[in-house]
Amino acid sequence: MRDCRMRRGGSAPDRHEAKRGGTTMASRYHEIYDASRIDPEKFWLDAAGKLVWTKKPTRALDPEAGVYGRWFPDGECNTCFNAIDRHVEAGRGDQVAIIHDSPVTGGKRRLTYGELLVEVKALAANLTDLGVGRGDRVIIYMPMVPETMIGMLACARIGAIHSVVFGGFAARELAARIDDAAPKLILSASCGIEPTRKVEYKPLLDKAIELATHKPAATIVLRRPELACELIEGRDHDWDALRHEAMAAIAAGREVPCASMKATDPLYILYTSGTTGKPKGVVRDTGGHMVVLHWSMQAIFGTDQGEVFFCASDVGWVVGHSYIVYAPLLRGCTTVLFEGKPIGTPDAGTFWRVAAEHGVKVLFTAPTAIRGIRKEDPDGQLPGGYDLSQFEALFLAGERADPETLIWAEKALQRPVIDHWWQTESGWPIAANPLGLGLLPIKRGSPGVAMPGFDVQVLNAMGEQAPPNEMGAIAIKLPLPPGALPTLWNADDRFRDAYLTAFPGYYSTSDAGFIDEEGYVYVMGRTDDVINVAGHRLSTGEMEEAVAGHPAVAECAVIGMRDALKGELPCGFVVLKNTSQLDRGQIEAELITLVRERIGPVAAFKRVLVVDKLPKTRSGKVLRRTMKAIVDKDDYEPPATIEDATALDDIRRAVSGD
C-alpha cells in the first residue's frame, strides 16, 4: 500500500463558498445524510416509492442475503419501464429524451420519449425473436450513437443482462469478455469515429468471436453510413432490416411487454480493470440501481425532469452507463449523447457550444478533458462566446481533480466546479458535494463528503480507524448502499478476496487518502496496480502480461508516469533475453504495437525503455514505486531491502535517454 501511514502535510485546503447554483439555500446535506444513517430502511423505501414497481418492496435491505446483503429483496420492477414507459404514460412522450450531437459526423438527432419507446420495443422484439430472454447476456460493442442506448434499454426491457464493451478495446479484450459473460447475442456497428480515423468494429468483432471459446449464436450489426461492412450469413443480422420488420409488426399490434424482474436480478455486467490481467465483471442489480440513480440525479446532480444533462463520457464506462443512460432517463431529463472530443472536434469550445445549443443545466466530464481544453484556451476565453444562461455547474470525476484545473474552470465558467469520487464498483458517487441538496462549501482537492448509504472511513494498516487528516486506506463499512455492486459475475469468491478480506466488515476501495475533521474525503491515489490514463482505468499488470508475451522479453515492469494532460501514462521497462543480437528500437516499436493490438489504443502505451536489469528487493519484488519516483522526478530513498542499487542508475539513464 502506498504511503498509508503518512500524515498529511502542507497548508489547509482551499475552502470557498460556491458562487452560483444551489448556494442560495442552506445545504440539507447533513439532515439527509443523517436520515439515511439513522433509518436506512425508511430512507431507501421512501426513495423506492417514487418509482413504479410490479411488486412493491416491503423491506429495503436483507442483510442475510447475498455476499453482504441485498437491496429490495422482495421487490419486482423493470428499469426500462421506469426510464421510458412511465414518462410516456404520464403524457410526456413528446419531451426530448436523447440529443445525439456528433461533431465527428456532423449529425444531430433528437429522440423523444415516445420515439425512444418505439425504437426500444422494436429492438426488444428483434432480440426476443433471436432467442434472447430473461437472464441471457448480450454484449454491446458500439460507438456513441443512440442505438447503443436503445440496445441497453431493450435488454433491460426483456430482462436480458447487457455488458457494454468500450470501443477503444482490442479484439482480445472483447474476446475475454465474451468468454466470461457467455453472451447469446452481440450488438455491434460497422464503425466508431475517432477524429483521425474510422475504427472498424466489424473486423475486431469477427476476430474476437474467432478468439473466444464461447460463440454467440447471433449478432445484430448497425451499418453506419460512414462505413460499410460485410455480414456473415447465418450469424450476423442487419440492424435496419430487423428494425423495419419489428416496426411493422408493432404497428400491426405486436406487444413488447416489459419483463417483471426481481430487484436483485442483474441489470448489467460491466468489466473493469483489476490487479490481474483478467477483468472483473462488476454486476449491477435491477432495483437498487434504479432507486439510487433516480434519487442521485436530483439530489447530487441537481437535475430534474425536463432539464438537460450532458455527461461527456463514453457509454462504455460506468459514468456513461449511470449518467448518460440510466439516471437522466429514470428522472425524465433530456440526456446529451456526445460523439466527439473536448478538443479538435472542431475546437476547445465544443463543450460550451453543446451546452449553449441544447440548454444544458449540468455538464459532467473528467478533469483530463478540462486540462485539454485549458491547454488550447489558457485564458478561458471560449466559454464567453456562448450563451450559457441555463448552465449551472460542472461536475468532474474519474481521476483526481487537480486544484489548477479546478481554478481555471471556475474562473472560465463562473460556476461551481464540483469534484466527486466514485468507481465502477460503486455505480454512483461515493463522495460528492450535492448540488440538489444545496452545495456545501467547496474545498479544492477534495471530492466532497460521503453520500447517503456510504459510511466512508480511513483505516490504518491494522484496520483501525485513522484520526482526521491521517492518510490510510479508504474503506466503506458494509453494507454498501443500493446501486453498488452486490458481487462479481459468477465469482463471489473473487469478489470477497478482492474487496472484502483486506478489512473484515468493510469494502476496500483500493484508494488511499484521508478525511478531514469536517468529513471531507481526500482521494490521493490507488494502492494497487491500477493506473488512471485520461480518466480510463487500466491495469499495469495486464500490460505487463502483454509485454511479457513478446519472445525477446525476459522480464518487464509497467508503471504509470505522471502526465500533465492525461494524469498518468503507462511507461514500460523491459529486460531483453539477449540484448546483443536485437535492435532495441525495433523491439520497443514491436512492444508498443503488441500492447495496442492486445489491449487496444485506449491503453495509450507509447513509451517503453530497454534496461539491463530491473531494481528489485532481495526477495525479488520489483521496486515499482521507486521506479515511478525516478520517472516522475520525485524525491526518493532507495529502500534498504534493495538487492542491487546500480539497477536504479540503469533506470535513471534510460529515463533521461543517456
Return the residue nearest ligand COA (CB atom). Answer: 398
Is 601 among the residues that bind ligand COA (CB under 6 A)?
yes
Q: How far is 243 from 126, CA to CA, in rounded Å?
A: 7
Asked if residues 446 and 520 have their Cβ atoms less than 8 Å apart, the reply is yes
Is 398 among the residues that bind ligand AMP (CB under 6 A)?
yes
For ligand COA, the closer of residues 314 and 529 by Cβ is: 314
Asked if residues 231 and 237 have their Cβ atoms less than 8 Å apart, the reply is yes
For ligand COA, the closer of residues 27 and 532 by Cβ is: 532
Q: How far is 397 from 537, CA to CA, in rounded Å?
A: 12
Is 560 among the residues that bind ligand AMP (CB under 6 A)?
no
Is 538 among the residues that bind ligand AMP (CB under 6 A)?
no
- Which are the contacts of 166, defined by CB distance < 8 A and separation ≥ 6? 314, 316, 317, 602
Scored b (16 or more CB within 10 A) or e, 525-556 reads bbbbbbbbbbbbbbbbbbbbbbbeebebbebb
The SS3 call for residue 323 is helix
Is 424 among the residues that bind ligand AMP (CB under 6 A)?
yes
Among 86, 400, 443, 598, binds ligand AMP (CB under 6 A): 400
424 binds, options ligand COA, ligand AMP, none, Cβ within 5 to 8 A by partner type: ligand AMP
Q: How far is 528 from 539, CA to CA, in rounded Å?
A: 9
The helix (H) or strand (E) run that includes residue 563 is strand 553-563
CB of 306 to ligand COA, least distance (A): 24
523 binds, options ligand COA, ligand AMP, none, Cβ within 5 to 8 A by partner type: ligand AMP
Q: At what angle do helices 584-598 and 171-181 cross, to 10 degrees?
A: 40
Among 532, 539, 540, 626, binds ligand AMP (CB under 6 A): 532
Is 610 among the residues that bind ligand COA (CB under 6 A)?
no
Among 177, 537, 566, 598, binds ligand AMP (CB under 6 A): 537
CB of 199 to ligand COA, least distance (A): 4
Is 423 among the residues that bind ligand AMP (CB under 6 A)?
yes
Is 227 among the residues that bind ligand COA (CB under 6 A)?
no
Number of residues that bind ligand COA (CB under 6 A): 25
What region does 141 belong to: left with phi over 0, alpha with psi -120 to 50, or beta?
beta
280 binds, options ligand AMP, ligand COA, none, Cβ within 5 to 8 A by partner type: none
116: closest CA among 94, 91, 143?
94
Among 285, 307, 511, 545, binds ligand AMP (CB under 6 A): 511
CB count within 10 Å of CB 64 equals 9
CB of 339 to ligand AMP, least distance (A): 20
77 binds, options ligand AMP, ligand COA, none, Cβ within 5 to 8 A by partner type: none
Window 156 to 195, contacts with ligand COA (CB under 6 A): 167-168, 192, 194
Is 532 among the residues that bind ligand COA (CB under 6 A)?
no
Among 85, 392, 399, 542, binds ligand AMP (CB under 6 A): 399
419 binds, options ligand AMP, ligand COA, none, Cβ within 5 to 8 A by partner type: ligand AMP
Scored b (16 or more CB within 10 A) or e, 435-447 reads bbbbbbebbbbbb
Q: How far is 340 from 521, CA to CA, in rounded Å?
A: 32
Q: Which stretch binds ligand COA (CB under 6 A): 92-100, 250-258, 530-538, 620-628?
A: 530-538
Number of residues that bind ligand AMP (CB under 6 A): 19
Is 434 among the residues that bind ligand AMP (CB under 6 A)?
no
Terminal Cα distance for the chain, rounded: 32
Dihedral sign from CA coordinates of 321, 322, 324, 325? positive
Is 526 among the residues that bind ligand COA (CB under 6 A)?
no
194 binds, options ligand COA, ligand AMP, none, Cβ within 5 to 8 A by partner type: ligand COA
Q: At what angle do helices 40-48 and 29-38 cross, to 10 degrees?
A: 110
Q: How far is 99 from 102, CA to CA, in rounded Å?
A: 9
CB of 395 to ligand AMP, least distance (A): 10
Window 366 to 395, contacts with ligand COA (CB under 6 A): 366, 368-369, 372
Among 33, 421, 507, 605, binds ligand AMP (CB under 6 A): 421
What region does 123 belong to: left with phi over 0, alpha with psi -120 to 50, or beta?
alpha
Q: What does the CA dihedral 391, 433, 286, 504 come to, rounded to 10 degrees?
A: 160
167 binds, options ligand COA, ligand AMP, none, Cβ within 5 to 8 A by partner type: ligand COA
Is 444 among the residues that bind ligand AMP (CB under 6 A)?
no
Q: Which stretch binds ligand AMP (CB under 6 A): 196-204, 239-247, 420-428, 616-624?
A: 420-428
Question: Do the bridges between strand 506-515 and strand 520-526 make them parallel or antiparallel, or are there none, so unpaired?
Answer: antiparallel
Q: What does the CA dihedral 317, 320, 325, 330 come to, rounded to 10 degrees?
A: 100
H runs (alpha helix) in 182-306: 201-211, 239-251, 287-299
Window 309 to 348, contacts with ligand COA (CB under 6 A): 313-314, 317, 319, 341-342
Is 534 among the residues that bind ligand COA (CB under 6 A)?
yes
355: closest CA among 418, 413, 434, 419?
413
For ligand AMP, the closer of residues 78 and 433 by Cβ is: 433
Among 535, 567, 570, 572, binds ligand COA (CB under 6 A): 535
The helix (H) or strand (E) run that includes residue 573 is strand 567-576
Q: How far is 71 from 483, CA to CA, in rounded Å?
A: 9
Q: How far is 458 from 187, CA to CA, in rounded Å?
A: 42
313 binds, options ligand COA, ligand AMP, none, Cβ within 5 to 8 A by partner type: ligand COA
Q: Where does this chain bind ligand COA (CB under 6 A)?
A: 167-168, 192, 194, 199, 313-314, 317, 319, 341-342, 365-366, 368-369, 372, 397-398, 534-536, 566, 601-602, 604
Residues that bind ligand AMP in the complex, under the rule CB under 6 A:
272, 318, 397-401, 419-424, 447, 511, 523, 526, 532, 537
